[in-house]
Structures are given as C-alpha cells and as structure tokens.
C-alpha cells in the first residue's frame, strides 16, 4: 500500500463494530483489515461494477473474499447501519463526500466515526463535519509524487470553532500523523496566489472575494511561520 492508504488504514480503530470502505475501487484497505485479523464486520462498496469486481478478485487472491461484504451502491445507501462503527470515504471530491454523508441521516445518531480523505475542497468537508456535530480528533498528511493528500478522522461531539485557514488545512491543536503540515500550507498558498493573480488590478481593490483570499493568504503565511520552528525531521 502507498503512504496515503497506510495512513488511512492506521486511522481506523481496531476495536469497532465494523468498517465500510465507500468507493473501495481496488479494495486494498478492506483486504488488509481482513488479512490482519480485524474482528468487526468488513464491508466494501462502490457505485460502479468494474471496481467492485476488481476488489472482489483481489480479495479472492488474498484468501479473504468471504470475510468482506461487497455492496454495489451509491455511497452508504445499502450500508447496514448496525454492522458498522467506522466509515471510510477516500479518493473522492469533497462535494461528493458531503453528498454521501448528507444522504445517510443515521450518521447523526452519534454512533459513528468518519475517516475522510477528500481529493478537493477539504474546507467544505471540515465545514460539514463541524456543522453536523462531529469533531476532528486526528489529522494526517501524505505527500506522494506531486500530490499532497489531507485526511482526517471525525468522532461524534461538539467542535470548537475554526478559523478560515483551519478549515483549509486543519487545526494545529489536533494530533497529526504523516508528513509535514507545511506541505499542505504550501499547496493551499499556491492555489490562493493563483486566484489572486487572476484578478485585474483595478478590480481587485474593491472585490470582497479578493480581500477574503488576501486575508486567507496572510493567515496561512503566519501559520507557516509559527509552525516551521516546531517541525523537525517529519517527512
Ligand atoms: C479514485 S477511486 C478511490 C479508491 C479508494 N477509495 C482510494 O482512496 O484509493 C474512487 C472510487 O469511488 C467510486 N465512487 C465514486 N462516487 C461514488 C459514490 N457516490 N458511491 C460509491 N462509490 C463511488 C468510484 O467508482 C471509484 O471506484
């Protein structure tokens, strides 16, 4: 497994009722759970037949096909609520992840943990969590090739409010694993700088959007300066 999948795997508590990997594709995490002797239910779902078939045959080769329940469905639509405690959704856009979470109203019962790795819009996913009575208890970063992946785990509970920059990169007060947070800050700074550079000079001065991103850029630069002295040899 690559670094991103390793970190996601390590974020799954090993004492839960069960895990569902939504959008499993290759099925690597459910297979690893089964091979490693995870005691709870193991489910793998995908909206497309092809990826689910790939996951099933990989599980067959690993000798754990019978240990995993495969579901062909959109998001959590066919997920048996009683069998899981941990929901993993990785490798999809932030809007898609929020759409999946929104449709599963049973998540509001306070009995589930979410392990999420949005490919886009992490700020939207964090916003969804904070406004749906979840609190982020673990953050992680994986840098692979040209990509920087953010992932986080959320547990039921009230969360303290977050600044705009914290929605983008996660809170500095939450425990972190993996690579340096400065990789994430640099990635977000590049995106914001590109946005700011796209404004015509005369329009920029009176645009509230420009002011918002300029402020965000300052906040990120301050955060970067404040954490740089604390990070050593990590990643
Ligand atoms: C890029 S792959 C990610 C695979 C794996 N989760 C990972 O992180 O490596 C995205 C997978 O999500 C599936 N998918 C996309 N939207 C979905 C949805 N609404 N419900 C279930 N699966 C979905 C796709 O079919 C595809 O197999």
Supply the pLDDT for residue 230: 59
Give the mean pLDDT of 21-39: 97
Supply the pLDDT for residue 231: 55
Question: Atom 9, ligand 1: which residue's CA is nearest?
Answer: 91
Supply the pLDDT for residue 106: 97
* Sign of the Cα pseudo-torsion (75, 79, 81, 85, in order): negative
Could you tell me the two tokens for 101? 């979470």
Nearest to 20, CA basis, from 1, 7, 36, 33 = 33
Domain 3-179 has CATH 3.40.50.150: yes
Supply the pLDDT for residue 56: 98
Ligand 1 in contact with 30 (CB < 6 A)? Answer: no
Question: Atom 7, ligand 1: which residue's CA is nearest?
Answer: 91
pLDDT value at 173 more than 90: no
What average pLDDT is seen over the chain? 93
Supply the pLDDT for residue 204: 74
Domain locations in the chain as residue ranges: 3-179
**More confident of the two residues 178 and 172:** 178
Question: Atom 4, ligand 1: which residue's CA is nearest?
Answer: 25
Ligand 1 in contact with 25 (CB < 6 A)? Answer: yes
pLDDT digits (tens, 9 = 90+) for 3-21: 999 999 999 999 999 999 9
In this predicted structure, which of 22-36, 43-57, 113-127, 214-228 has the lowest mean pLDDT?
Answer: 214-228
Supply the pLDDT for residue 172: 83
pLDDT value at 206 more than 50: yes
pLDDT digits (tens, 9 = 90+) for 220-233: 998 888 776 555 44
pLDDT digits (tens, 9 = 90+) for 114-129: 999 999 999 999 999 9
How far is the centre of ligand 1, averaged over its atoms, from the C-alpha of 120 (Å)?
14
Ligand 1 in contact with 100 (CB < 6 A)? Answer: yes
How far is the centre of ligand 1, averaged over its atoms, from the C-alpha of 2 (Å)?
17
Ligand 1 in contact with 47 (CB < 6 A)? Answer: yes
Nearest to 159, CA basis, from 186, 133, 138 = 133
Q: Map the chain to HEC letters.
A: CCHHHHHHHHCCCCCCCEEEEECCCCCHHHHHHHHCCCCCEEEEEECCHHHHHHHHHHHHHCCCHHHEEEEECCCCCCCCHHHCCEEEEEEECHHHHHHHHHHCHHHHHCCCEEEEEECCCHHHHHHHHHCCCEEEEEEEEEEECCEEEEEEEEEECCCCCCCHHHHHHCCCCCCEEECCHHHHHHHHHHHHHHHHHCCCHHHHCCCHHHHHHHHHHHHHHHHHHHHHCCCCCCC
How far is the centre of ligand 1, averaged over its atoms, from the C-alpha of 24 (Å)?
6
Ligand 1 in contact with 23 (CB < 6 A)? Answer: yes
Site to probe by mutation for ligand 1, drawn from 47, 52, 97, 150 as the one with most ligand atoms within 8 Å of Cβ, is 47
Give the confidence band of 154 by pLDDT, cuts at 50, 70, 90.
Answer: very high
Supply the pLDDT for residue 209: 87
Q: Is the whole-model pTM more than 0.85? A: yes
Supply the pLDDT for residue 234: 45
């Amino acid at each position: 497994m690559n670094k991103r999948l390793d970190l996601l795997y390590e974020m799954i508590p090993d004492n839960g009722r069960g895990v569902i990997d939504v959008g499993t594709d290759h099925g690597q995490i459910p297979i690893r759970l089964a091979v490693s002797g995870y005691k709870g239910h193991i489910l793998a779902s995908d909206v497309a037949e092809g990826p689910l078939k790939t996951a099933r045959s990989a599980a067959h080769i690993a000798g754990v096909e019978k240990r995993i329940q495969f579901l062909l469905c959109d998001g959590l639509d066919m997920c048996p609520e009683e069998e899981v405690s941990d929901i993993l959704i990785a490798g999809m856009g932030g809007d898609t992840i929020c759409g999946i979470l929104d449709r599963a109203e049973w998540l509001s019962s306070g009995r589930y943990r979410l392990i999420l790795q949005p490919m886009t819009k992490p700020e939207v996913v964090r916003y969804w969590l904070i406004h749906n009575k979840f609190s982020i208890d673990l953050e992680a970063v994986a840098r692979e090739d040209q990509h920087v992946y953010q992932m986080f785990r959320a547990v039921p509970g009230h969360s303290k409010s977050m600044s705009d920059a914290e929605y983008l990169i996660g809170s500095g007060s939450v425990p972190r694993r993996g690579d340096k947070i400065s990789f994430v800050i640099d990635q977000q700074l590049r995106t914001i700088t590109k946005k700011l550079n796209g404004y015509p000079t005369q329009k920029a001065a009176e645009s509230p959007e420009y002011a918002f991103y300029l402020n965000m850029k300052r906040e990120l630069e301050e955060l970067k300066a404040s954490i740089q002295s604390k990070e050593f040899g990590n990643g």
